[in-house]
Amino acid sequence: MKAMTCRQLGGPCDLQLRGENADEVIQAQDRHLKEAVAAGDVTHEQAREEMKGRWKRPKKSLDWYFGAKKAFAALPED
């Protein structure tokens, strides 16, 4: 298992998001952003909007996705 922070994935905080692979961590980030915004945390709104709209620009989205996967792969195991 490895961990990345919300900030490492483009968010505003240092919450640790854990997963067995990059996709699990990205999904945890999506849930975190959704929950934070629903709870009224305005600091996460921009990152949430970026996450929601990410696939409207496939090239930019794939660059972000592959960058996140590469960063995850470089992390040490917990």
Q: pLDDT digits over 56-72, tens only?
A: 888 888 999 999 999 99
Q: Under a CB-based contact definition with an 8 Å cutoff, are residues 4 and 71 in contact?
A: yes
Q: Under a CB-based contact definition with an 8 Å cutoff, are residues 69 and 29 in contact?
A: no
What is the Cα–Cα distance from 78 to 76, expressed in whole angstroms? 6
- Of the pLDDT bands very low, low, confident and very high (cuts 50, 70, 90), residue 50 is confident
Count of domains observed in the chain: 1
- Of the pLDDT bands very low, low, confident and very high (cuts 50, 70, 90), residue 75 is very high
Name the residue range of residue 52's domain: 2-74
Q: pLDDT digits over 12-32, tens only?
A: 999 999 999 999 999 999 999
